[in-house]
Each structure stands twice: as C-alpha cells, then as structure tokens.
C-alpha cells in the first residue's frame, strides 16, 4: 500500500519555477539585451535565493536544510543503491549535493553581477563601491567561469531529472508541480506542513527579501 505525502510545500514549488524562469530570463537577456532587463531578472534570482535560504530553516520538513544534509557515508550508500526510504522522499543524497551546488553557483553569479560593469551602458549597483581591480575580476568571473559553471550545473540538473523519468521511471517533476509523492505506507515518513500559516509566513519572508533587494538597488549611488 502507498500513501500520498506532501513533500514540496507550495512556497518551495513557486520558488523553484520562478527561479527557473528568472535564470532563463537573465540568460536570454545576457545575449539579446536589454541589459536593464538582464539585471532585473538577476535581482529576481537574488530575492528568490534569499528566500530559499530563510525557507531552509523555516519551511516544510522536506524543504529544511536539516532534512537533506547527509554524511559522506549516506552518499556512498546511495551510490550503491542502498538508501533508506527517508533518504529518497525529499532530495536524495546525490540530489542534495546538486541543490547546494546550484544555490552556491547561482549566488556567485548574481553576486558577481552586482559588481560587474559593461563599460558602456550599465554598472551593477555595487560596482561603484569597489576598486576597479575588483570590478574587473568580478566582471571576468561573471562573463566567463561563472556562466559556464552555472550552465553546466543546470544541464546536469535537467539531465538527472530526465534520467529519473525515462530510465528509472521515477517522475520527480510531478512532485515539483503537485507537491506530493506516493510513498510506501510502512515507512511512516513526516509530511511537509503546507497550510495557510506556512504560506503567509513564506509571503512575509519573500516580501522582506524583495524589500532588501530593492533597497540594495535603489540605494546605489
Ligand atoms: C534554470 C533552470 C533551473 C534551475 C536553476 C533549477 C534549480 C533547482 C533547485 C535550486 C532545486 C532545489 C529545490 C529546493 O529544494 O528548493 C531544484 C529541484 C528540482 N528541479 Fe530544478 N531547476 C531548473 C530547471 C528545472 C527543470 C526545467 C525541471 C524539470 C524538467 C526541474 C525539475 C526539478 C525537480 C524535479 C527538482 C526536485 C529534485 C528532487 O526530487 O530532488 N528543474 N531545481
Ligand atoms: C542568474 C543571474 C545571471 C546570469 C545567468 C547572468 C549571466 C550573464 C552572462 C552569460 C553574461 C555575459 C554576456 C556576454 O558575454 O555577452 C552577463 C553579462 C553581464 N551581467 Fe549578468 N547574469 C546574471 C545576473 C546579473 C546581475 C544581478 C547583474 C547586475 C545587476 C548582472 C550584470 C551583468 C553585466 C553588467 C554584464 C555585462 C558585462 C560586460 O559585457 O562586460 N548580471 N551576465
């Protein structure tokens, strides 16, 4: 017998799809322009990342970092196909590594963007506060290593999800849409809280993150 369990609360799902849209928007406009829109999509990524860090402490059970920080032994067990059900309900040990890597590399991409200068039309809001050497270094990272690292991780991420879908017959995408997974009843796994109070809290935290990013951008000299 299987039971339906809420794994991804609504705020995590909205975060995920808005993040994917904002990263795509930023990537497309980095090639086509206009640069103001490139930066706006980037600011959206920044606010979403800020929210996700807070949600890693305040969110539903399976969105909390504490539920997907694994020991090296757990990663090893996972690679051998011996993970317990509790390690497969939310982010698996391998998925968790890729989630942390994605969040870190996205943070570096947006962070370096804030210090970048195209020397024609646009300067990131922190560029005028840094030395010209720092700005040159950040712009180089942003346009070169950073963009390729991010592209590599996103391609790997989507390939892993498709591998699960097509080879392992395990549809991870539907849980990122509906929030729920069908899991063996015997395991008695906790569900993520996803009621009105959680959603209101998420709204407040997101508003705080948007406010902080707006302040950062508008207070630039
Ligand atoms: C630029 C594009 C994307 C980025 C930056 C991205 C980023 C992320 C991040 C950060 C997570 C962790 C979610 C969390 O715990 O907050 C995640 C999970 C997930 N993403 Fe994406 N994503 C992208 C595109 C996609 C696409 C196109 C799909 C579907 C084809 C997808 C499917 C999933 C799934 C199924 C999970 C959950 C994985 C699991 O069960 O462990 N993502 N993604
Ligand atoms: C996830 C978010 C972001 C991604 C994926 C991204 C990606 C890129 C890429 C690929 C380029 C190189 C374009 C080229 O070589 O023609 C670029 C350029 C640039 N980005 Fe971003 N970016 C992001 C966020 C930001 C943010 C938040 C800012 C600043 C507010 C920013 C400011 C710039 C600037 C000023 C350039 C032009 C640098 C130059 O041409 O010298 N970016 N970005």
Distance 161 CA to ligand 2 centre (A): 27
Q: Residue 184 phi/psi, 5° resolution?
A: -60, 130
pLDDT value at position 141? 98
Which residue's alpha carbon is nearest to atom 43 within ligand 1? Answer: 16
Using the mean position of ligand 2's atoms as its centre, give its distance from the Cα of residue 221 in Å: 20
Question: What is the 3 state secondary structure string of 168-181?
Answer: CCCCHHHHHHHCEE
Which residue, by CA, sits nearest to atom 11 of ligand 1?
A: 99
Structure tokens at 150: 């991010």
| Spatial distance between the Cα atoms of 30 and 32, rounded to a whole number of angstroms | 6
pLDDT-derived band of residue 14, with 50, 70 and 90 as boundaries? very high
Sign of the C-alpha dihedral computed for residues 101, 115, 42 and 24 taken in this order:
negative
Ligand nearest the Cα of residue 118 is 2
Identify the CA nearest to 103 among candidates 48, 161, 41, 24.
48
Locate tokens 């990122």: which residue?
176
| Residues contacting ligand 1 via CB (< 6 Å) | 12, 15-16, 19-20, 23-24, 52, 63, 91, 95, 99, 102-103, 154, 157-158, 161, 172-173, 176
Cα separation of 52 and 54, whole Å?
5
pLDDT surpasses 90 at 4: yes
| pLDDT at 121 (0 to 100) | 86
Parent domain of 122: 2-218
pLDDT tens column, 86-136: 999 999 999 999 999 999 999 999 999 999 999 998 999 999 999 999 999
Name the residue of 27, 34, 38, 151 to mutate for ligand 2: max ligand atoms within 8 A of Cβ: 38
Q: How far is CA 212 from the centre of its chain?
A: 18
Other beta carbons within 10 Å of 44: 20
> Which ligand has an atom closest to residue 125 CA?
2
Region 67-74: mean pLDDT is: 98
97, 176, 182, 192: residue to mutate for ligand 1 pocket, most atoms within 8 A of CB: 176
User: Are the C-beta atoms of residues 156 and 102 closer than 8 Å to each other?
Assistant: no
Q: Are 60 and 37 in contact (CB under 8 A)?
A: no
Domain total for the chain? 1
**CATH code: domain of residue 184:** 1.20.950.20
Beta bridge partners of 30: none
Residues 6+ apart with CB under 8 A from 165: 171, 172, 173
The CA distances from residue 195 to 7, 188, 201, 208, in Å, are 13, 20, 10, 20
pLDDT digits (tens, 9 = 90+) for 150-207: 999 999 999 999 999 999 999 999 999 999 999 988 777 999 999 999 999 999 999 9
């Amino acid at each position: 017998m299987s039971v339906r369990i809420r794994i991804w609360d609504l705020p995590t799902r909205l975060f995920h799809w808005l993040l994917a849209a904002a990263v795509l928007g930023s990537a497309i406009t980095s090639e086509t322009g206009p640069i103001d829109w490139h930066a706006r999509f980037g600011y959206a990524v920044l606010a979403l990342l800020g929210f996700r860090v807070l949600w890693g402490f305040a969110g539903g059970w399976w969105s909390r970092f504490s539920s997907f920080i694994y020991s090296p032994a757990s990663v090893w067990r996972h690679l051998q196909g011996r993970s317990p059900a509790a390690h497969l309900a939310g982010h698996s040990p391998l998925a968790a590594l890729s989630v942390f890597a994605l969040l870190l590399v996205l943070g570096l991409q947006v962070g370096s963007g804030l210090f970048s200068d195209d020397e024609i039309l646009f300067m990131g809001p922190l560029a005028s506060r840094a030395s010209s050497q720092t700005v040159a270094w950040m712009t180089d990272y942003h346009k070169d290593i950073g963009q390729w690292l991010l592209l590599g991780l996103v391609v790997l991420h989507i390939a892993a999800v498709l591998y699960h879908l097509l080879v392992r017959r395990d549809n991870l995408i539907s849980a990122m849409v509906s929030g729920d997974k069908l899991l063996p009843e015997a395991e008695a796994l906790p569900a993520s809280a996803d009621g009105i109070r959680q959603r209101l809290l998420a709204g407040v935290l997101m508003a705080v993150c948007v406010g902080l990013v707006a302040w950062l951008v508008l207070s630039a000299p």
